[in-house]
Every structure is written in structure tokens, then in C-alpha cells.
């Protein structure tokens, strides 16, 4: 009891930190109080090292030309809709019959936060920056064939064209992602230098934006206070956000964040421990909105260029020996969507991905596959996960060690510091490990292109398949919908046949909030979007 009383006292003083006193003086109905365990480490989301919290802030402060729609998926819950793209700073768009030219017409009434009008020159400069400057935007834009500044042409005062060498199905979608911020070029250029022509240093700690919220104060690692932009025109049907102010507070301890939500001292948190969720669900003042992370997956990877995992039968033996249901319960308390136990064998039922793969626990089949692979007595290996994943990966690892031991595979479980794990993963030096993956653009082709082709960081299993590379290349530029679906089904079947890694599940994205808060949307960047929230 003493600890709970102390925490309540801390809540008041903590939430008042960082210039939030004035915000808290506003009507409770008009102010959203959001607590997070991490920090907003930059105001320019295109900078290397930007945290997901920085992405979340950017989506609320900056506009893009386009944004994904949203669809209702349950009581009080919404999710982004990658199949619907609407204008944000763009009023309309059209695509030429050969699908190589996108014509964008801007909203004539859009203004920057300093009151000056958004111009087509600003948009051109922003797009040029994203394909030219040494930021995170350029590699992401390249996945949509947005590669060089001369692809963006000004037509008139409100019109711009984007020209592609080939019709790329991800060109338009890339203009919706976190990096695709539209920048007040006149303001940014005032802070550019000969060595920094794109004002990257200045924009780390300053904004040149037009979005739904304006930053009133920002203290990295402590708090950020936002006020509503009363002149914002980028909302659906021109609607303004319901909350006039948002207080974003860093509270590192997950139990403290849970108590703040449970007691009604904070309105929203999205990064609580799974073990705290049942308590919040029973709270009189709070509720939980749980949404499977539809654009991500948790997996167990095997290094396909390292013996014995270079043998597909060994990989399939491991897949047959994993205790799926026990892991799902131990790691996630069954809070998520299973990506195993699929009801098919050779051909998937549709072209969607991720989808449940037909992996099931079958120790007899696993032993047979190991013998066929030349390992009748098994072998020894290590299984790694990060310290940051401990809550879910540690119980999972214990079950893997026990189950694989039954077929002769001796597993040395290794819990590694996050930095060491990330380096080893990037350098392809771990034989067997677990991790998670999220694709901002959740299209089947993109998943396979990103995670299962090329010698690059996100090819977790270091898988090399000429057939997969051919399929993804064809799908990327494929304009025939039926042929695209055929390509995607072949990708899924090939993945299942070769088993470079084992899909486990899509964890729930658990948003805990005051019962009076409604309209929460699960976004592809897995952070809170304040623009559609309201108090009921």
C-alpha cells in the first residue's frame, strides 16, 4: 500500500514535469496524458537511430502527401488500412494508364505551423531531400523506385508529378511512411549550411511542419507537450483532432506506468508488460484494446549458410519439434494470432502474408527428418535471444531446449545484451535465434523482398533462393492482379518448402487506456496516433 501511495504522489509531480503545468490546467476532456517507457530522441524521424517513439511523434506533428486509411476491427479498435490511401497534404492524385506517372494536386489551403502557405516548391524540396540526403528516407524510398530528384517535377502552383521508370506497386505507399515528411523548405533552408544543405542537424531539435499538432515544449527523456494545430487541413474530411493538448511523458518503469493507467492518473500507454494486462482489464477506470500486429511476426531463424542449418531437412526437423502451443501460452499468455498450424499442405489458401504456415509439433516426423539429413543422433547448437526480449523469449527458450532435446538436439541457451545480439545478427554469426520483424508496407511481395532476398541486414536466415528473387522481382512490377496473386502464392509455398525460418505468431498490440478514451488505431509504426482519439 505504501508503494502505491508513493507512486500516486509521483504521478502528479511527474506528469507536471517538462512545462506541462499549463497543459494540465486545461479541461481534462481536452487533454490526453500519454505515458511511455522510451524516449523521443530526435524531432527528425529520418535520422539514423530514431526511436519508434520519434516516429510516433513525427506522424502527429508532420504531414505527408498521403496517409493510409483506417478500418474498424472491433469494439473501440481500429487498424490502419494499407489498401486505402487518401490525401493528407495532397488533395487528389491520379495515375497514368501505363502506371508510370503519379500526378499530385495539393490542398490549396494548407499552411505550415508558422502560418505561411504550403507550396509545391516546399513539396519538391522535401522529396528531393528524401532521395538525396544521407538519411533513412533514401533506402526506404528506393523500395518504391523513388531514387532521384529529377523524378519529381513541378507542373504548376499546386501540381507535381512523380515519374517512375517502371510501374512500381510501392511508389504511392512509400509516400505514406514515417520518413515521407513534408518540410517547410523556406524555414529549413535558413538553417542549412554548405556542409549540411538539407538542415539535418537543425531539424534534429526543431520542426518545420504542418501537421495536426504543434510542439509546445520538448525535453528528451522527460516530456513533450503538444497543442492542436487549429489550421490543420490534413484530417479525414478536414476534421481536427478531438484533444487540444497532449502530454507525452517518459516513465521508464513498466509497473509505474501500469499503476498510472489503473488509477486514472494517465490516459494511455501502449508498452506495458503482458503480465500487467490482466490487472488493467479488471480496473474500474481503465480498459485494454488488443490488436494483433498484422504487419509483423515473431520468428525463430536458422542460419541457412551455417551447418547443419544449411540442410533444409534439418530446418524442417526443428520446425516439427517445436512445442508451439506451449510456447504461445508461456511467452504471450496466448495474446496474439498464431502463425503455425495452418490448414494446408502445399498450396496456401490465398496470397496474404503473414498467414498460418502448416507447421505442427510432430516429434516422430522430426526424428525421421533428422535421420534423413544425416543426424540420427542429433547435434549441438546454441539458441540466442536479447536481454530486452527476456520476458517472452526466456520461457520460450526453456521449452525449445526441452523439446529439441527429445530428438537429440542439445541446445545451449544464450541471453545476449541487445547491442551484441544486433551486431551478431547483422553479421550473420548466430546459428539459431529468435527475433521479431515489422514491415511498414504489409504487402506480400514486400515481406518476401525485405526478409527473404538479398545479402542484407533483414534477411535473418541468410537465405539465398534464385527462384524467390525472380518471384519478388516479377511481383514488384506486376500490373496484372491475378498474376501478382499467383506470384505471391508461389512465394509462400517456396518458403514453406524450404523453411528458412519458422513463423510463430503476431503478438497483440495492447493499448491500455482510460475507459473514457475511444478511437484507438493500430498503426504500422506501432505507436500512438493521437489524431483519431477522443474522450467519450
Q: What is the pLDDT of residues 179-227, one digit of tens each?
A: 999 999 999 999 999 999 999 999 999 999 999 999 999 998 899 999 9
The answer on pLDDT for 24 being more than 90 is no
C-alpha distances in Å from residue 286, one per residue of 266, 269, 356: 10, 11, 32
What pLDDT is stored for residue 391 in this prediction?
87
DSSP 314-339: HHHHHHHH--HHHHHHHHHTT-EEE-
Interatomic CA distance for residues 342 and 319, integer angstroms:
13
What pLDDT is stored for residue 514 in this prediction?
96
Q: Give the confidence band of 19 by pLDDT, cuts at 50, 70, 90.
A: very low
The fraction of the chain above a pLDDT of 70, given in percent, is 95
What pLDDT is stored for residue 246 in this prediction?
98
What pLDDT is stored for residue 29 in this prediction?
84
The answer on pLDDT for 16 being more than 80 is no
Pairing of strands 380-386, 410-416: parallel
Evaluate whether 534 touches 518 at the Cβ level (below 8 Å): yes
Q: Give the confidence band of 8 by pLDDT, cuts at 50, 70, 90.
A: very low
The pTM is what?
0.88
Q: What is the pLDDT of residues 103-146, one digit of tens each?
A: 999 999 999 999 999 999 999 999 999 999 999 999 999 999 99
Interatomic CA distance for residues 383 and 508, integer angstroms:
24
Q: Which residue has the cell 516429434?
A: 363
The answer on pLDDT for 21 being more than 90 is no
Judged on CB neighbours under 10 Å (0-12, 13-18, 19+), 175 is buried
What pLDDT is stored for residue 119 in this prediction?
98
Average pLDDT, the chain: 93
170-181: average pLDDT:
97
Q: What is the pLDDT of residues 61-85, one digit of tens each?
A: 999 999 999 999 877 789 999 999 9
Q: What is the pLDDT of residues 369-411, one digit of tens each?
A: 999 999 999 999 999 999 988 989 999 999 999 999 999 999 9
The answer on pLDDT for 242 being more than 50 is yes
CATH H superfamily, domain 1-62+211-285+515-536: Periplasmic binding protein-like II (3.40.190.10)
Domain boundaries, the chain: 1-62+211-285+515-536, 81-186, 296-508
459-476: average pLDDT:
96
Q: What is the pLDDT of residues 342-377, one digit of tens each?
A: 999 999 999 999 999 999 999 999 999 999 999 999
The answer on pLDDT for 237 being more than 70 is yes
Compute CA 306 distance to the chain's CA centroid, rounded to the nearest angstrom. Answer: 29
The answer on pLDDT for 160 being more than 50 is yes
Per DSSP, the three-state class of 479 is coil
506-520: average pLDDT:
94
What pLDDT is stored for residue 74 in this prediction?
75
**31 Rama class: left (phi>0) / alpha (psi -120 to 50) / beta:** beta
Evaluate whether 118 touches 125 at the Cβ level (below 8 Å): no
The answer on pLDDT for 26 being more than 70 is no
CATH H superfamily, domain 81-186: Dipeptide-binding Protein; Domain 1 (3.90.76.10)
The answer on pLDDT for 7 being more than 60 is no
Residues 6+ apart with CB under 8 A from 13: none
Evaluate whether 170 touches 476 at the Cβ level (below 8 Å): yes
Class of domain 296-508: alpha beta
What pLDDT is stored for residue 159 in this prediction?
98
Evaluate whether 504 touches 332 at the Cβ level (below 8 Å): no
What pLDDT is stored for residue 17 in this prediction?
43
DSSP 425-466: HHTT--SEEEEEEE-SS--HHHHHHHHHSSSSTT-TT----H
Amino acid at each position: 500500500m505504501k508503494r502505491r501511495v508513493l507512486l500516486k504522489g509521483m504521478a502528479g509531480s511527474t506528469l507536471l514535469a517538462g512545462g506541462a503545468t499549463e497543459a494540465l490546467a486545461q479541461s481534462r476532456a481536452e487533454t490526453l496524458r500519454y505515458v511511455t517507457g522510451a524516449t523521443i530522441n530526435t524531432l527528425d524521424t529520418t535520422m539514423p537511430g530514431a526511436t519508434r517513439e520519434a516516429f510516433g511523434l513525427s506522424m502527429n506533428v508532420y504531414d505527408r502527401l498521403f496517409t493510409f486509411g483506417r478500418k474498424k476491427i472491433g469494439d473501440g479498435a481500429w487498424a490502419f488500412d494499407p489498401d486505402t490511401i487518401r490525401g493528407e497534404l495532397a488533395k487528389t492524385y491520379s495515375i497514368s494508364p501505363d502506371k508510370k506517372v503519379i500526378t499530385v494536386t495539393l490542398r490549396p489551403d494548407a499552411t505550415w505551423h508558422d502560418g505561411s502557405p504550403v507550396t509545391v516548391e516546399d513539396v519538391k524540396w522535401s522529396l528531393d531531400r528524401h532521395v538525396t540526403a544521407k538519411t533513412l528516407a533514401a533506402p526506404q524510398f528506393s523500395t518504391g523506385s523513388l531514387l532521384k530528384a529529377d523524378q519529381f517535377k513541378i507542373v504548376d502552383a499546386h501540381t507535381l508529378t512523380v515519374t517512375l521508370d517502371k510501374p512500381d506497386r510501392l511508389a504511392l505507399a512509400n509516400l505514406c511512411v514515417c520518413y515521407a515528411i513534408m518540410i517547410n523548405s523556406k524555414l529549413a533552408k535558413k538553417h542549412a549550411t554548405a556542409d549540411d544543405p538539407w538542415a539535418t542537424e537543425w531539424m534534429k531539435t526543431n520542426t518545420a511542419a504542418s501537421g495536426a499538432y504543434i510542439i509546445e515544449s520538448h525535453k528528451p527523456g522527460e516530456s513533450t507537450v503538444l497543442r492542436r494545430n487549429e489550421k490543420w487541413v490534413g484530417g479525414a474530411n478536414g476534421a481536427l483532432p478531438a484533444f487540444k493538448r497532449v502530454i507525452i511523458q517518459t516513465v521508464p518503469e513498466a509497473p509505474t506506468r501500469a499503476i498510472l493507467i489503473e488509477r486514472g492518473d494517465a490516459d494511455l500507454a501502449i508498452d506495458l508488460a503482458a503480465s500487467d494486462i490482466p490487472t488493467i482489464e479488471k480496473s474500474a477506470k481503465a480498459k485494454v484494446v488488443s490488436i494483433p500486429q498484422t504487419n509483423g511476426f515473431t520468428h525463430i531463424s536458422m542460419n541457412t549458410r551455417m551447418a547443419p542449418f544449411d540442410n533444409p531437412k534439418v530446418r524442417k526437423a526443428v520446425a516439427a519439434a517445436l512445442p508451439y502451443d506451449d510456447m504461445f501460452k508461456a511467452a504471450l499468455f496466448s495474446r496474439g494470432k498464431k502463425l503455425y498450424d495452418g490448414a494446408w499442405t502445399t498450396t496456401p489458401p490465398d496470397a496474404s502474408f503473414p498467414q498460418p504456415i502448416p507447421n505442427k509439433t510432430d516429434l516422430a516426423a522430426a526424428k525421421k527428418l533428422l535421420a534423413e539429413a544425416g543426424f540420427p543422433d542429433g547435434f549441438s547448437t546454441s539458441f540466442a535471444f536479447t536481454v530486452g526480449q527476456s520476458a517472452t523469449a526466456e520461457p520460450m527458450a526453456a521449452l525449445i531446449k526441452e523439446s529439441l532435446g527429445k530428438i537429440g538436439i542439445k541446445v545451449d541457451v544464450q541471453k545476449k545484451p541487445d547491442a551484441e545480439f544486433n551486431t551478431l545478427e547483422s553479421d550473420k554469426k548466430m546459428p539459431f535465434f529468435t527475433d521479431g520483424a515489422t514491415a511498414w508496407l504489409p504487402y506480400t511481395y514486400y515481406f518476401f523482398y525485405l526478409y527473404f532476398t538479398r545479402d542484407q541486414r533483414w534477411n535473418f536466415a541468410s537465405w539465398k533462393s534464385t527462384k524467390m528473387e525472380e518471384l519478388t522481382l516479377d511481383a514488384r512490377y506486376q500490373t496484372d492482379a491475378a498474376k501478382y496473386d499467383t506470384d505471391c502464392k508461389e512465394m509462400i509455398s517456396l518458403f514453406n518448402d524450404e523453411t528458412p525460418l519458422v513463423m510463430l505468431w503476431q503478438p497483440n498490440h495492447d493499448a491500455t487506456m482510460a475507459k473514457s478514451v475511444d478511437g484507438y488505431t493500430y498503426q504500422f509504426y506501432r505507436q500512438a496516433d493521437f489524431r483519431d482519439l477522443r474522450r467519450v
